[in-house]
Chain A
Amino acid sequence: MKIGVVTFPGTLDDRDAARAVRIAGAEAVSLWHADADLKKVDAVVLPGGFSYGDYLRCGAIAAQAPVMTEIIKKANQGLPVLGICNGFQVLVESHLLPGGLIRNSDQHFICRDQGLRVENTSTAWTNQFELNQEITIPLKNGEGGYIATAAELERLEGEGLVTFRYIGGNPNGSMNDIAGLRNERGNVVGLMPHPEHAVEPGFGPDTSTAMRSGVDGLLFFRSVLHSLVNA
């Protein structure tokens, strides 16, 4: 299985995402923003960072990149796509997911281990979680406040598209504590926290059993492998 990891100018977490893909047992393939060739990958990760220096709006310029034209086309045909942090912002700006992300309500950049509840497991990226499983993965962003119109929020809740919700306190003022979303089909998932930073003991969040032993992020990547094998 090949999972593409896109690098835009200003992307930071592409190497960690590629590493997470390899730890989960797949082959990581680097994709370049200016190249519309997806190199026959079976899924795509849009990693975190500050693409184009967050110019105009976070993710707005990346959403216009040649590689995104192809990703949007394939995502609408069912290609699994995971957007992490800036990648989530790119998905929103690409209209693959609804709503918008604005400056954190307290106006600070927040970097901490964050509790989440997995509220939908019918997606390419969450099928290995238990419904309502509580997980901890790192959160690190300045513009993670999720907003949408009242009508859109009602639709998201009604159709079960909210995939992750913050627990243990809403860090950034996100409406309805929304940390991540899926599309109707379940192949596209975006979230602000970083699963790729919680995939290997010794480098993840602290857990009750040992320091830095949290590997809750690994299940995102195992989920997509599971969905591809069973496709």
Chain B
Amino acid sequence: MPKIIVEVMPKADLLDPQGKAVANALHRSGNKDIAAVRIGKRIELHFDREINDGDIANAKKIGEEFLSNAVIEDVVNVHVEN
């Protein structure tokens, strides 16, 4: 099924509590070389037909306006997977 993937990350300068908690757990289990962890979202938009340029432009718009909040997050990637 063709799909558009929208990836959203918390802004780099903001606290990412999930990432911090996971990093702490990894350190406890011996993964000392992992300096930090950040956790974002991967959102899949599924289509029952071929994806066109208009769909990608619309996905970017949806990503900026609804799937992310520009005050706290960035859309870091929008791409097609078939």
Contact = CB atoms under 8 A, between A and B. Distances in A.
Interface in B37-82: 66-67, 69, 71-73
B66 A60 contact: yes
B17 interface: yes
Interface of B is mostly: mixed
B25 interface: no
Interface residues of B, number: 11
Given A60-B66, A64-B66, A99 B17 contact: no
Interface residues of A, number: 16
Interface stretch (A69-77, A100-108, A117-125): A100-108
B36 interface: no
Contacts of B15: 102-103, 105, 173
A57 B67 CA distance: 9
Contacts of B69: 57, 60, 93, 100
Given A105-B15, A107-B17, A147-B14, A100 B72 contact: yes
Interface of B: 14-15, 17, 20-21, 66-67, 69, 71-73
26 contacts: A56-B66, A56-B67, A57-B69, A57-B72, A60-B69, A64-B66, A93-B69, A98-B71, A99-B71, A100-B69, A100-B71, A100-B72, A102-B14, A102-B15, A102-B72, A103-B15, A103-B17, A105-B15, A107-B17, A107-B20, A107-B21, A147-B14, A147-B71, A147-B72, A148-B71, A149-B71
